[in-house]
Chain A
Amino acid sequence: MITFQKIIIITGHYGCGKTNLAVNLALHLADGGEQVTIMDLDIVNPYFRTNDCRELFEERGIELIAANFASTNLDVPSLPGSVASKIRMGDGTIILDVGGDDAGAVALGQYAALIEEKGYEMLYVYNPFRFLTAEPKETAESLRSIEAASRLKATALVNNANLGPLTTPEVVERGLTFGKQLTEVTGLPVKFTACVKGNEIQNNGTDIFPMELYLKPVE
Protein backbone atom coordinates (compact mmCIF):
# COMPACT_ATOMS: atom_id res chain seq x y z
CA MET A 1 0.00 0.00 0.00
CA ILE A 2 1.56 3.24 -1.15
CA THR A 3 0.44 6.31 0.77
CA PHE A 4 0.54 9.86 -0.52
CA GLN A 5 0.56 13.43 0.80
CA LYS A 6 -2.30 15.78 -0.05
CA ILE A 7 -0.19 17.68 -2.56
CA ILE A 8 1.72 15.44 -4.96
CA ILE A 9 4.06 17.17 -7.41
CA ILE A 10 5.26 15.10 -10.34
CA THR A 11 8.47 16.26 -11.98
CA GLY A 12 11.20 14.76 -14.08
CA HIS A 13 13.23 14.84 -17.25
CA TYR A 14 11.38 15.71 -20.46
CA GLY A 15 9.62 12.57 -21.70
CA CYS A 16 10.27 10.33 -18.65
CA GLY A 17 6.56 9.43 -18.31
CA LYS A 18 5.31 12.03 -15.82
CA THR A 19 1.95 12.63 -17.44
CA ASN A 20 1.02 8.97 -17.79
CA LEU A 21 1.89 8.49 -14.11
CA ALA A 22 -0.10 11.59 -13.07
CA VAL A 23 -3.18 10.39 -14.96
CA ASN A 24 -2.97 6.89 -13.46
CA LEU A 25 -2.39 8.25 -9.98
CA ALA A 26 -5.43 10.53 -10.23
CA LEU A 27 -7.65 7.66 -11.36
CA HIS A 28 -6.27 5.32 -8.68
CA LEU A 29 -6.87 7.79 -5.84
CA ALA A 30 -10.31 8.78 -7.13
CA ASP A 31 -11.33 5.11 -7.37
CA GLY A 32 -10.31 4.76 -3.72
CA GLY A 33 -12.88 7.42 -2.79
CA GLU A 34 -10.52 10.37 -2.60
CA GLN A 35 -11.54 13.80 -3.89
CA VAL A 36 -8.88 14.47 -6.56
CA THR A 37 -7.83 17.54 -8.51
CA ILE A 38 -5.26 17.14 -11.29
CA MET A 39 -3.40 20.18 -12.56
CA ASP A 40 -1.79 20.29 -15.99
CA LEU A 41 0.99 22.83 -15.41
CA ASP A 42 2.93 21.82 -18.53
CA ILE A 43 4.03 24.97 -20.35
CA VAL A 44 6.58 23.11 -22.50
CA ASN A 45 4.92 20.21 -24.28
CA PRO A 46 2.41 20.95 -27.06
CA TYR A 47 1.05 17.37 -27.36
CA PHE A 48 0.49 14.29 -25.18
CA ARG A 49 -0.84 16.24 -22.22
CA THR A 50 -2.88 15.53 -19.08
CA ASN A 51 -5.53 17.75 -20.62
CA ASP A 52 -5.94 15.16 -23.44
CA CYS A 53 -7.60 12.86 -20.85
CA ARG A 54 -10.25 15.48 -19.97
CA GLU A 55 -13.23 13.20 -20.72
CA LEU A 56 -11.79 10.37 -18.64
CA PHE A 57 -11.48 12.71 -15.65
CA GLU A 58 -15.05 13.91 -16.07
CA GLU A 59 -16.33 10.32 -16.06
CA ARG A 60 -14.49 9.55 -12.84
CA GLY A 61 -15.32 12.77 -11.02
CA ILE A 62 -11.81 14.21 -11.08
CA GLU A 63 -11.44 17.96 -11.32
CA LEU A 64 -9.02 19.11 -14.02
CA ILE A 65 -7.30 22.48 -13.95
CA ALA A 66 -5.27 23.00 -17.10
CA ALA A 67 -3.16 25.65 -18.77
CA ASN A 68 -5.57 28.05 -20.54
CA PHE A 69 -4.65 26.99 -24.06
CA ALA A 70 -3.72 23.32 -23.43
CA SER A 71 -4.33 21.05 -26.46
CA THR A 72 -5.45 23.95 -28.65
CA ASN A 73 -3.81 25.52 -31.68
CA LEU A 74 -2.35 28.32 -29.58
CA ASP A 75 1.11 28.05 -28.07
CA VAL A 76 0.54 30.49 -25.19
CA PRO A 77 1.90 29.14 -21.89
CA SER A 78 -0.47 30.83 -19.43
CA LEU A 79 -1.95 29.23 -16.31
CA PRO A 80 -5.37 29.99 -14.81
CA GLY A 81 -5.79 31.77 -11.46
CA SER A 82 -7.63 28.72 -10.11
CA VAL A 83 -4.30 26.90 -9.65
CA ALA A 84 -3.30 29.12 -6.72
CA SER A 85 -6.80 29.34 -5.20
CA LYS A 86 -7.23 25.56 -5.30
CA ILE A 87 -3.88 24.97 -3.58
CA ARG A 88 -4.79 27.60 -0.98
CA MET A 89 -8.21 26.04 -0.25
CA GLY A 90 -6.56 22.65 -0.01
CA ASP A 91 -9.45 20.19 0.02
CA GLY A 92 -8.82 16.64 -1.15
CA THR A 93 -5.69 15.51 -2.97
CA ILE A 94 -4.02 17.71 -5.58
CA ILE A 95 -1.73 16.23 -8.24
CA LEU A 96 0.45 18.72 -10.07
CA ASP A 97 1.71 17.45 -13.43
CA VAL A 98 4.68 19.69 -14.16
CA GLY A 99 6.36 20.17 -17.56
CA GLY A 100 9.68 18.43 -18.18
CA ASP A 101 13.13 19.61 -17.14
CA ASP A 102 13.95 22.90 -15.46
CA ALA A 103 12.18 24.74 -18.30
CA GLY A 104 8.89 23.09 -17.29
CA ALA A 105 9.53 23.44 -13.55
CA VAL A 106 9.74 27.23 -13.85
CA ALA A 107 5.92 27.27 -13.94
CA LEU A 108 5.86 25.61 -10.53
CA GLY A 109 8.17 28.16 -8.91
CA GLN A 110 5.49 30.86 -8.60
CA TYR A 111 3.51 28.60 -6.23
CA ALA A 112 6.54 27.48 -4.19
CA ALA A 113 5.84 29.49 -1.01
CA LEU A 114 2.17 28.47 -0.95
CA ILE A 115 2.97 24.80 -1.56
CA GLU A 116 5.65 24.79 1.10
CA GLU A 117 3.21 26.24 3.62
CA LYS A 118 0.63 23.52 2.85
CA GLY A 119 3.10 20.59 2.86
CA TYR A 120 3.82 18.45 -0.16
CA GLU A 121 5.73 15.59 -1.68
CA MET A 122 7.65 16.08 -4.90
CA LEU A 123 8.32 12.94 -6.89
CA TYR A 124 11.13 12.85 -9.42
CA VAL A 125 10.28 10.31 -12.12
CA TYR A 126 13.20 8.65 -13.91
CA ASN A 127 13.62 6.36 -16.89
CA PRO A 128 17.19 5.15 -17.45
CA PHE A 129 16.27 4.27 -21.04
CA ARG A 130 15.67 7.90 -21.85
CA PHE A 131 18.53 9.24 -23.96
CA LEU A 132 20.60 11.85 -22.06
CA THR A 133 19.49 10.68 -18.62
CA ALA A 134 20.93 7.19 -19.03
CA GLU A 135 23.67 7.88 -16.46
CA PRO A 136 22.89 8.49 -12.74
CA LYS A 137 25.07 11.62 -12.85
CA GLU A 138 23.07 13.11 -15.75
CA THR A 139 19.80 12.25 -13.99
CA ALA A 140 20.98 13.84 -10.74
CA GLU A 141 21.90 17.03 -12.63
CA SER A 142 18.42 17.10 -14.17
CA LEU A 143 16.90 16.70 -10.67
CA ARG A 144 18.96 19.52 -9.17
CA SER A 145 18.14 21.90 -12.03
CA ILE A 146 14.41 21.16 -11.55
CA GLU A 147 14.72 21.87 -7.81
CA ALA A 148 16.48 25.14 -8.53
CA ALA A 149 13.87 26.24 -11.09
CA SER A 150 10.86 25.24 -8.93
CA ARG A 151 12.35 26.39 -5.60
CA LEU A 152 11.03 23.16 -4.06
CA LYS A 153 12.86 19.99 -2.98
CA ALA A 154 12.28 16.55 -4.40
CA THR A 155 11.22 14.12 -1.64
CA ALA A 156 11.48 10.79 -3.47
CA LEU A 157 12.26 9.05 -6.75
CA VAL A 158 9.88 7.00 -8.89
CA ASN A 159 11.21 4.21 -11.09
CA ASN A 160 9.44 4.40 -14.45
CA ALA A 161 11.99 2.40 -16.47
CA ASN A 162 10.44 1.61 -19.85
CA LEU A 163 11.13 1.11 -23.52
CA GLY A 164 7.59 1.82 -24.67
CA PRO A 165 6.13 -1.24 -26.43
CA LEU A 166 9.42 -3.12 -25.92
CA THR A 167 9.21 -2.93 -22.11
CA THR A 168 9.78 -6.22 -20.26
CA PRO A 169 10.05 -7.03 -16.53
CA GLU A 170 13.85 -7.06 -17.09
CA VAL A 171 13.68 -3.45 -18.28
CA VAL A 172 11.71 -2.49 -15.13
CA GLU A 173 14.22 -4.43 -13.01
CA ARG A 174 17.09 -2.46 -14.50
CA GLY A 175 15.36 0.69 -13.33
CA LEU A 176 15.75 -0.54 -9.75
CA THR A 177 19.49 -1.14 -10.13
CA PHE A 178 19.73 2.34 -11.59
CA GLY A 179 17.59 3.66 -8.71
CA LYS A 180 20.10 2.37 -6.15
CA GLN A 181 22.86 4.35 -7.86
CA LEU A 182 20.62 7.39 -8.07
CA THR A 183 19.81 7.12 -4.35
CA GLU A 184 23.55 7.12 -3.60
CA VAL A 185 24.06 10.30 -5.63
CA THR A 186 20.94 12.18 -4.48
CA GLY A 187 20.18 10.75 -1.04
CA LEU A 188 16.55 10.27 -2.07
CA PRO A 189 14.72 6.92 -1.71
CA VAL A 190 12.83 5.17 -4.53
CA LYS A 191 9.24 5.48 -3.34
CA PHE A 192 7.77 3.00 -5.80
CA THR A 193 8.06 1.45 -9.26
CA ALA A 194 5.49 2.45 -11.87
CA CYS A 195 5.01 0.08 -14.78
CA VAL A 196 2.43 -0.64 -17.44
CA LYS A 197 0.36 -3.71 -16.47
CA GLY A 198 1.99 -6.96 -17.55
CA ASN A 199 5.53 -5.86 -16.69
CA GLU A 200 5.26 -6.14 -12.90
CA ILE A 201 8.30 -7.47 -11.06
CA GLN A 202 8.10 -9.21 -7.69
CA ASN A 203 9.99 -9.49 -4.42
CA ASN A 204 12.38 -6.66 -4.99
CA GLY A 205 11.68 -4.51 -1.99
CA THR A 206 9.79 -2.00 -4.07
CA ASP A 207 6.10 -1.21 -4.16
CA ILE A 208 4.58 -1.64 -7.60
CA PHE A 209 2.15 0.85 -9.05
CA PRO A 210 0.56 -0.81 -12.11
CA MET A 211 -0.56 1.58 -14.85
CA GLU A 212 -2.60 1.72 -18.03
CA LEU A 213 -1.01 3.48 -20.99
CA TYR A 214 -3.08 6.58 -21.75
CA LEU A 215 -0.62 8.56 -23.88
CA LYS A 216 0.47 6.51 -26.88
CA PRO A 217 2.16 6.99 -30.28
CA VAL A 218 -0.11 7.41 -33.31
CA GLU A 219 -0.84 4.19 -35.24
Chain B
Amino acid sequence: MSQQYMMKGNEALAEAALRAGCRYFFGYPITPQTELSAYMSKRMPKIGGTFLQAESEIAAINMVLGASSVGARVMTSSSSPGISLKTEGISYIAGSDLPCLIVNVQRGGPGLGGIQPSQADYFQATKAPGHGDLHIMVFAPASIQEIVDMVGRAFDKADQYRVPAMLLADGALGQMMEPIAFPDESEEKKLPEKPWAATGTKGSRKPNIINSLYLNPNKLEDSVRERFERYEKIKENEVLYEEVMTDDADLVLIAYGITSRICKTAVNMARAEGIKLGLLRPITLWPFPEKAIAKIADHAKAFMSVEMSMGQMVDDVRLAVNGKCPVRFFGRTGGVIPTPDEILQAAKDVLASVGGDK
Protein backbone atom coordinates (compact mmCIF):
# COMPACT_ATOMS: atom_id res chain seq x y z
CA MET B 1 0.00 0.00 0.00
CA SER B 2 1.10 3.54 -0.70
CA GLN B 3 2.35 5.76 2.10
CA GLN B 4 -0.48 7.29 4.08
CA TYR B 5 -0.60 10.90 5.21
CA MET B 6 -2.92 13.15 7.16
CA MET B 7 -4.23 15.94 4.95
CA LYS B 8 -6.82 18.68 5.04
CA GLY B 9 -9.38 18.57 2.24
CA ASN B 10 -8.16 21.84 0.75
CA GLU B 11 -4.53 20.69 0.74
CA ALA B 12 -5.42 17.27 -0.69
CA LEU B 13 -7.37 18.95 -3.46
CA ALA B 14 -4.39 21.12 -4.39
CA GLU B 15 -1.88 18.27 -4.27
CA ALA B 16 -4.17 16.00 -6.32
CA ALA B 17 -4.47 18.73 -8.97
CA LEU B 18 -0.67 19.03 -9.18
CA ARG B 19 -0.39 15.27 -9.55
CA ALA B 20 -3.04 15.40 -12.29
CA GLY B 21 -0.70 17.65 -14.26
CA CYS B 22 -2.25 21.03 -13.45
CA ARG B 23 0.47 23.69 -13.70
CA TYR B 24 -1.65 26.84 -13.77
CA PHE B 25 -3.65 28.15 -10.83
CA PHE B 26 -5.39 31.51 -10.78
CA GLY B 27 -7.39 32.51 -7.73
CA TYR B 28 -8.29 34.94 -5.04
CA PRO B 29 -8.35 33.99 -1.33
CA ILE B 30 -11.59 33.35 0.54
CA THR B 31 -12.44 31.36 3.67
CA PRO B 32 -12.96 28.37 3.97
CA GLN B 33 -10.99 27.61 0.79
CA THR B 34 -7.79 29.59 1.38
CA GLU B 35 -5.50 26.64 2.27
CA LEU B 36 -5.91 25.48 -1.32
CA SER B 37 -4.54 28.75 -2.75
CA ALA B 38 -1.86 28.89 -0.04
CA TYR B 39 -0.73 25.36 -0.91
CA MET B 40 -0.56 26.24 -4.60
CA SER B 41 1.45 29.38 -3.85
CA LYS B 42 4.05 27.29 -2.01
CA ARG B 43 4.23 24.34 -4.39
CA MET B 44 3.72 25.72 -7.92
CA PRO B 45 6.99 27.68 -8.08
CA LYS B 46 8.90 24.57 -6.94
CA ILE B 47 7.61 22.43 -9.80
CA GLY B 48 7.79 24.99 -12.59
CA GLY B 49 4.10 25.88 -12.51
CA THR B 50 2.31 29.20 -12.27
CA PHE B 51 0.45 30.44 -9.20
CA LEU B 52 -1.12 33.82 -9.58
CA GLN B 53 -3.20 35.64 -7.00
CA ALA B 54 -5.37 37.75 -9.25
CA GLU B 55 -6.80 41.16 -8.35
CA SER B 56 -10.29 39.64 -8.19
CA GLU B 57 -12.28 36.46 -8.81
CA ILE B 58 -13.40 37.90 -12.15
CA ALA B 59 -9.81 38.39 -13.25
CA ALA B 60 -8.89 34.88 -12.08
CA ILE B 61 -11.61 33.10 -14.05
CA ASN B 62 -10.71 35.03 -17.20
CA MET B 63 -7.07 33.99 -16.74
CA VAL B 64 -8.39 30.42 -16.63
CA LEU B 65 -10.13 31.07 -19.95
CA GLY B 66 -6.88 32.36 -21.45
CA ALA B 67 -4.73 29.48 -20.22
CA SER B 68 -7.28 26.87 -21.30
CA SER B 69 -7.45 28.48 -24.78
CA VAL B 70 -3.82 27.57 -25.33
CA GLY B 71 -4.32 24.02 -24.09
CA ALA B 72 -3.07 24.30 -20.50
CA ARG B 73 -4.49 22.15 -17.71
CA VAL B 74 -5.76 24.94 -15.48
CA MET B 75 -7.91 25.52 -12.43
CA THR B 76 -9.31 28.10 -10.07
CA SER B 77 -10.91 27.76 -6.66
CA SER B 78 -13.11 29.86 -4.45
CA SER B 79 -16.02 29.74 -2.04
CA SER B 80 -19.65 30.68 -2.64
CA PRO B 81 -19.58 34.51 -3.00
CA GLY B 82 -16.42 34.21 -5.09
CA ILE B 83 -18.08 31.69 -7.40
CA SER B 84 -20.92 34.15 -8.00
CA LEU B 85 -18.33 36.61 -9.28
CA LYS B 86 -16.89 33.96 -11.58
CA THR B 87 -20.16 33.00 -13.25
CA GLU B 88 -19.81 35.34 -16.23
CA GLY B 89 -16.40 33.87 -16.97
CA ILE B 90 -17.69 30.31 -16.54
CA SER B 91 -20.34 31.02 -19.17
CA TYR B 92 -17.70 32.36 -21.58
CA ILE B 93 -15.54 29.28 -20.95
CA ALA B 94 -18.50 26.96 -21.58
CA GLY B 95 -19.46 28.97 -24.69
CA SER B 96 -15.88 28.66 -25.96
CA ASP B 97 -15.87 24.86 -25.42
CA LEU B 98 -12.92 25.01 -23.05
CA PRO B 99 -12.04 22.51 -20.30
CA CYS B 100 -11.00 23.62 -16.81
CA LEU B 101 -11.57 22.77 -13.16
CA ILE B 102 -13.44 25.12 -10.83
CA VAL B 103 -13.51 24.32 -7.11
CA ASN B 104 -16.27 25.63 -4.85
CA VAL B 105 -15.71 25.04 -1.12
CA GLN B 106 -19.22 26.15 -0.18
CA ARG B 107 -20.04 28.44 2.76
CA GLY B 108 -23.29 29.92 4.01
CA GLY B 109 -25.29 32.44 2.00
CA PRO B 110 -26.98 34.41 0.57
CA GLY B 111 -24.87 37.53 0.36
CA LEU B 112 -21.77 37.60 2.50
CA GLY B 113 -23.50 34.85 4.51
CA GLY B 114 -20.90 33.25 6.71
CA ILE B 115 -17.78 31.12 6.78
CA GLN B 116 -19.34 27.93 8.15
CA PRO B 117 -20.07 24.98 5.81
CA SER B 118 -23.09 24.91 3.51
CA GLN B 119 -24.58 23.15 0.49
CA ALA B 120 -26.74 26.02 -0.69
CA ASP B 121 -24.98 26.44 -4.06
CA TYR B 122 -26.51 23.30 -5.58
CA PHE B 123 -28.84 25.32 -7.80
CA GLN B 124 -25.99 27.55 -8.92
CA ALA B 125 -23.69 24.63 -9.74
CA THR B 126 -26.23 22.42 -11.52
CA LYS B 127 -28.74 24.87 -13.01
CA ALA B 128 -27.10 28.22 -13.55
CA PRO B 129 -23.31 28.29 -13.26
CA GLY B 130 -23.51 31.15 -15.79
CA HIS B 131 -25.92 32.78 -18.20
CA GLY B 132 -27.17 31.04 -21.33
CA ASP B 133 -27.87 27.44 -22.33
CA LEU B 134 -25.12 25.55 -20.62
CA HIS B 135 -24.13 22.85 -18.17
CA ILE B 136 -20.91 22.04 -16.41
CA MET B 137 -19.98 18.68 -14.93
CA VAL B 138 -20.33 18.75 -11.14
CA PHE B 139 -18.46 16.31 -8.91
CA ALA B 140 -19.30 16.02 -5.19
CA PRO B 141 -16.73 14.17 -3.06
CA ALA B 142 -17.60 12.96 0.45
CA SER B 143 -14.16 12.25 1.94
CA ILE B 144 -10.61 13.50 1.63
CA GLN B 145 -9.57 10.25 -0.07
CA GLU B 146 -12.39 10.69 -2.58
CA ILE B 147 -11.13 14.21 -3.30
CA VAL B 148 -7.71 12.73 -4.04
CA ASP B 149 -9.22 10.16 -6.39
CA MET B 150 -11.68 12.53 -8.07
CA VAL B 151 -9.63 15.58 -9.04
CA GLY B 152 -7.75 13.83 -11.87
CA ARG B 153 -10.99 12.38 -13.19
CA ALA B 154 -12.65 15.80 -13.24
CA PHE B 155 -9.74 17.25 -15.27
CA ASP B 156 -9.77 14.27 -17.66
CA LYS B 157 -13.54 14.41 -18.23
CA ALA B 158 -13.42 18.17 -18.79
CA ASP B 159 -10.78 17.58 -21.49
CA GLN B 160 -12.66 14.66 -23.02
CA TYR B 161 -15.90 16.59 -23.48
CA ARG B 162 -14.42 20.11 -23.70
CA VAL B 163 -16.61 21.38 -20.86
CA PRO B 164 -15.78 23.05 -17.54
CA ALA B 165 -15.89 20.73 -14.52
CA MET B 166 -16.69 21.81 -10.99
CA LEU B 167 -15.68 20.10 -7.78
CA LEU B 168 -18.38 21.03 -5.30
CA ALA B 169 -17.10 20.62 -1.74
CA ASP B 170 -18.03 22.51 1.44
CA GLY B 171 -16.22 24.12 4.33
CA ALA B 172 -16.26 21.01 6.48
CA LEU B 173 -14.64 18.86 3.78
CA GLY B 174 -12.16 21.61 2.99
CA GLN B 175 -11.09 22.07 6.60
CA MET B 176 -11.21 18.61 8.10
CA MET B 177 -8.32 16.19 8.12
CA GLU B 178 -8.31 12.49 7.24
CA PRO B 179 -5.72 9.86 6.35
CA ILE B 180 -5.19 9.56 2.58
CA ALA B 181 -2.91 7.76 0.16
CA PHE B 182 -2.01 8.99 -3.29
CA PRO B 183 -2.06 6.40 -6.08
CA ASP B 184 1.39 5.12 -7.06
CA GLU B 185 2.76 6.97 -10.05
CA SER B 186 5.66 5.30 -11.73
CA GLU B 187 5.63 7.55 -14.78
CA GLU B 188 4.86 11.16 -15.58
CA LYS B 189 1.18 11.76 -16.31
CA LYS B 190 0.57 12.19 -20.04
CA LEU B 191 -2.05 14.81 -20.82
CA PRO B 192 -4.31 14.42 -23.88
CA GLU B 193 -3.50 16.18 -27.15
CA LYS B 194 -5.54 19.34 -27.73
CA PRO B 195 -5.52 19.91 -31.51
CA TRP B 196 -8.11 22.69 -31.06
CA ALA B 197 -5.88 24.87 -28.86
CA ALA B 198 -4.70 28.30 -30.05
CA THR B 199 -1.02 27.44 -29.93
CA GLY B 200 0.12 29.15 -33.15
CA THR B 201 -0.13 27.68 -36.65
CA LYS B 202 3.56 27.85 -37.58
CA GLY B 203 2.17 28.38 -41.10
CA SER B 204 1.08 24.76 -41.32
CA ARG B 205 -2.69 24.90 -40.72
CA LYS B 206 -5.68 27.19 -40.49
CA PRO B 207 -5.80 29.18 -37.22
CA ASN B 208 -7.75 27.74 -34.29
CA ILE B 209 -10.17 30.38 -33.06
CA ILE B 210 -11.47 30.31 -29.47
CA ASN B 211 -14.66 32.31 -29.35
CA SER B 212 -18.17 32.47 -27.90
CA LEU B 213 -19.52 35.21 -30.19
CA TYR B 214 -21.55 34.24 -33.27
CA LEU B 215 -22.75 36.98 -35.62
CA ASN B 216 -25.31 34.71 -37.25
CA PRO B 217 -28.11 33.48 -34.92
CA ASN B 218 -28.41 30.19 -36.82
CA LYS B 219 -24.73 29.52 -36.37
CA LEU B 220 -25.04 30.22 -32.64
CA GLU B 221 -27.99 27.84 -32.46
CA ASP B 222 -25.94 25.17 -34.29
CA SER B 223 -23.07 25.56 -31.83
CA VAL B 224 -25.38 25.28 -28.81
CA ARG B 225 -27.10 22.22 -30.29
CA GLU B 226 -23.76 20.53 -30.95
CA ARG B 227 -22.77 21.20 -27.33
CA PHE B 228 -26.04 19.72 -26.08
CA GLU B 229 -25.31 16.54 -28.08
CA ARG B 230 -22.12 16.27 -25.98
CA TYR B 231 -24.18 16.89 -22.83
CA GLU B 232 -26.38 13.92 -23.80
CA LYS B 233 -23.27 11.72 -24.04
CA ILE B 234 -22.17 12.92 -20.61
CA LYS B 235 -25.61 12.06 -19.17
CA GLU B 236 -25.40 8.63 -20.80
CA ASN B 237 -21.84 7.74 -19.72
CA GLU B 238 -20.64 9.77 -16.76
CA VAL B 239 -23.20 9.41 -13.96
CA LEU B 240 -21.63 8.31 -10.67
CA TYR B 241 -23.40 7.41 -7.44
CA GLU B 242 -23.15 5.15 -4.39
CA GLU B 243 -25.99 3.09 -2.92
CA VAL B 244 -26.15 1.98 0.71
CA MET B 245 -28.79 -0.65 1.61
CA THR B 246 -31.34 0.62 -0.89
CA ASP B 247 -32.53 -2.86 -2.03
CA ASP B 248 -34.96 -3.44 0.84
CA ALA B 249 -35.26 0.14 2.08
CA ASP B 250 -38.67 1.59 2.92
CA LEU B 251 -37.26 5.09 3.00
CA VAL B 252 -34.25 6.14 0.93
CA LEU B 253 -32.22 9.19 1.91
CA ILE B 254 -30.61 11.18 -0.90
CA ALA B 255 -27.58 13.18 0.19
CA TYR B 256 -24.29 14.27 -1.32
CA GLY B 257 -20.91 15.36 0.05
CA ILE B 258 -20.49 15.89 3.79
CA THR B 259 -24.20 15.36 4.49
CA SER B 260 -24.05 11.85 3.01
CA ARG B 261 -21.57 10.86 5.73
CA ILE B 262 -23.95 11.92 8.47
CA CYS B 263 -26.77 10.11 6.63
CA LYS B 264 -24.68 6.92 6.59
CA THR B 265 -24.43 7.13 10.37
CA ALA B 266 -28.21 7.69 10.54
CA VAL B 267 -28.83 4.67 8.25
CA ASN B 268 -26.72 2.44 10.52
CA MET B 269 -28.52 3.74 13.62
CA ALA B 270 -31.90 3.06 11.96
CA ARG B 271 -30.93 -0.47 10.89
CA ALA B 272 -29.87 -1.23 14.47
CA GLU B 273 -33.45 -0.34 15.47
CA GLY B 274 -34.89 -2.51 12.68
CA ILE B 275 -35.94 0.47 10.55
CA LYS B 276 -35.27 -0.08 6.84
CA LEU B 277 -33.46 3.07 5.88
CA GLY B 278 -31.21 3.33 2.80
CA LEU B 279 -29.06 5.98 1.16
CA LEU B 280 -28.29 6.99 -2.40
CA ARG B 281 -25.34 9.35 -2.64
CA PRO B 282 -24.99 11.21 -5.94
CA ILE B 283 -21.26 11.51 -6.71
CA THR B 284 -21.95 13.51 -9.87
CA LEU B 285 -24.63 16.16 -9.35
CA TRP B 286 -24.68 17.01 -13.05
CA PRO B 287 -25.25 14.58 -14.60
CA PHE B 288 -27.69 13.57 -11.85
CA PRO B 289 -28.33 9.86 -11.11
CA GLU B 290 -31.99 10.13 -12.16
CA LYS B 291 -32.25 6.60 -13.60
CA ALA B 292 -30.92 5.00 -10.40
CA ILE B 293 -33.41 6.97 -8.30
CA ALA B 294 -36.29 6.12 -10.66
CA LYS B 295 -35.42 2.44 -10.29
CA ILE B 296 -35.47 2.60 -6.48
CA ALA B 297 -38.81 4.47 -6.67
CA ASP B 298 -40.36 1.24 -8.00
CA HIS B 299 -40.03 -0.39 -4.57
CA ALA B 300 -39.31 2.28 -1.92
CA LYS B 301 -42.19 3.87 0.02
CA ALA B 302 -40.66 7.33 0.09
CA PHE B 303 -37.52 9.43 -0.37
CA MET B 304 -36.05 12.14 1.83
CA SER B 305 -33.48 14.56 0.45
CA VAL B 306 -31.08 15.71 3.18
CA GLU B 307 -29.12 18.86 2.45
CA MET B 308 -27.36 21.75 4.18
CA SER B 309 -29.76 24.14 2.43
CA MET B 310 -33.47 24.97 2.44
CA GLY B 311 -34.06 22.29 -0.24
CA GLN B 312 -32.48 22.43 -3.68
CA MET B 313 -31.45 18.93 -4.83
CA VAL B 314 -34.89 17.76 -3.63
CA ASP B 315 -36.32 19.21 -6.87
CA ASP B 316 -34.13 16.89 -8.95
CA VAL B 317 -35.14 13.96 -6.74
CA ARG B 318 -38.82 14.79 -7.39
CA LEU B 319 -38.22 14.94 -11.15
CA ALA B 320 -36.45 11.56 -11.03
CA VAL B 321 -39.14 9.94 -8.85
CA ASN B 322 -41.80 11.43 -11.14
CA GLY B 323 -44.71 11.01 -8.74
CA LYS B 324 -44.17 7.30 -8.00
CA CYS B 325 -43.95 7.98 -4.24
CA PRO B 326 -43.65 10.90 -1.82
CA VAL B 327 -40.41 12.93 -1.75
CA ARG B 328 -39.72 14.82 1.48
CA PHE B 329 -36.96 17.10 2.64
CA PHE B 330 -34.85 17.68 5.73
CA GLY B 331 -32.20 20.33 5.95
CA ARG B 332 -30.23 22.77 8.07
CA THR B 333 -28.82 25.96 6.69
CA GLY B 334 -26.78 29.03 7.59
CA GLY B 335 -23.70 26.97 8.39
CA VAL B 336 -25.40 24.48 10.71
CA ILE B 337 -24.44 20.82 10.24
CA PRO B 338 -27.30 18.34 10.86
CA THR B 339 -26.78 15.59 13.45
CA PRO B 340 -27.42 11.88 12.80
CA ASP B 341 -30.11 11.97 15.54
CA GLU B 342 -32.18 14.69 13.92
CA ILE B 343 -31.91 13.03 10.50
CA LEU B 344 -33.08 9.73 12.02
CA GLN B 345 -35.99 11.49 13.75
CA ALA B 346 -37.00 13.21 10.51
CA ALA B 347 -36.83 9.82 8.73
CA LYS B 348 -39.08 8.24 11.37
CA ASP B 349 -41.57 11.11 10.96
CA VAL B 350 -41.64 10.59 7.19
CA LEU B 351 -42.16 6.84 7.59
CA ALA B 352 -44.98 7.42 10.08
CA SER B 353 -46.70 9.84 7.70
CA VAL B 354 -46.46 7.71 4.54
CA GLY B 355 -47.28 4.39 6.33
CA GLY B 356 -48.83 1.36 4.61
CA ASP B 357 -47.46 -1.07 2.05
CA LYS B 358 -46.41 0.01 -1.34
Contact = CB atoms under 8 A, between A and B. Distances in A.
B241 interface: no
Contacts of B171: 46-47
A214 interface: no
A83 to B, nearest CB: 22
Contacts of A80: none
Contacts of B264: 219
A163 B6 contact: yes
B177 A163 contact: no
Nearest to B172: A218
A68 to B, nearest CB: 14
Contacts of A15: 6-8, 11, 177
Contacts of B117: 47
B185 to A, nearest CB: 15
B132 interface: no
Interface string A37-48: 000000001111
A218 to B, nearest CB: 5
A4 interface: no
B108 to A, nearest CB: 7
B176 interface: yes
A73 interface: yes
B6 A130 contact: yes
A165 B180 CA distance: 11
B178 A164 contact: yes
| Residue among B6, B15, B178 with most chain A CB within 10 A | B6
Interface in B11-32: 11, 15, 31-32
A131 B32 contact: no
Interface in A71-125: 72-75
A28 to B, nearest CB: 23
A127 B175 contact: no
User: Which of B35, B113, B262, B335 lies at the interface centre, i.e. has the most chain A CB atoms within 10 A of its CB?
Assistant: B35
Q: Chain B interface mostly helix, strand, loop or mixed?
A: mixed
B11 A219 contact: no
Nearest to B42: A132
A46 B32 contact: yes
Contact of B31 (A46, A127, A218): A46
Nearest to B170: A218
A218 B116 contact: no
A217 interface: yes
Interface string A7-25: 0000000110000000000
B123 to A, nearest CB: 21
A164 B145 CA distance: 13
Contact of B175 (A47, A74, A165): A47
B325 interface: no
B8 A163 contact: no
A2 interface: no
Contacts of B258: 218
Contacts of A218: 172, 176, 258, 261-262, 337
A194 to B, nearest CB: 14
Contact of A164 (B6, B35, B337, B340): B6
Interface string A151-186: 000000000001111100000000000000000000
Contacts of A130: 5-7
B2 to A, nearest CB: 12
B201 interface: no
Contacts of B11: 15, 131-132
B237 interface: no
Contacts of B177: 15, 164, 217
Contacts of B262: 218-219
B179 A165 contact: yes
A19 B5 CA distance: 19
Contact of A127 (B6, B115, B178): B6
A73 B116 contact: yes
Contacts of A134: 5
A14 B179 CA distance: 15
A73 B265 contact: no
Nearest to A45: B175
Contact of A75 (B15, B31, B178, B265): B31
B6 A46 contact: no
B218 interface: no
Contacts of A131: 5-7, 11, 15
A50 B138 CA distance: 34
13 contacts: A15-B177, A46-B171, A47-B32, A47-B176, A48-B175, A48-B176, A72-B114, A73-B108, A129-B5, A130-B7, A131-B15, A164-B178, A166-B4
Closest 4 CB pairs of A and B: A73-B114, A131-B5, A163-B179, A47-B175
Given A47-B116, A75-B115, A129-B179, 19 more contacts: A15-B177, A45-B175, A46-B32, A46-B175, A47-B117, A72-B114, A73-B114, A74-B115, A129-B4, A130-B6, A130-B7, A131-B7, A132-B11, A134-B5, A163-B4, A164-B6, A166-B179, A218-B176, A218-B337
Interface of B: 4-8, 11, 15, 31-32, 35, 108, 113-117, 171-172, 175-179, 258, 261-262, 264-265, 335, 337, 340
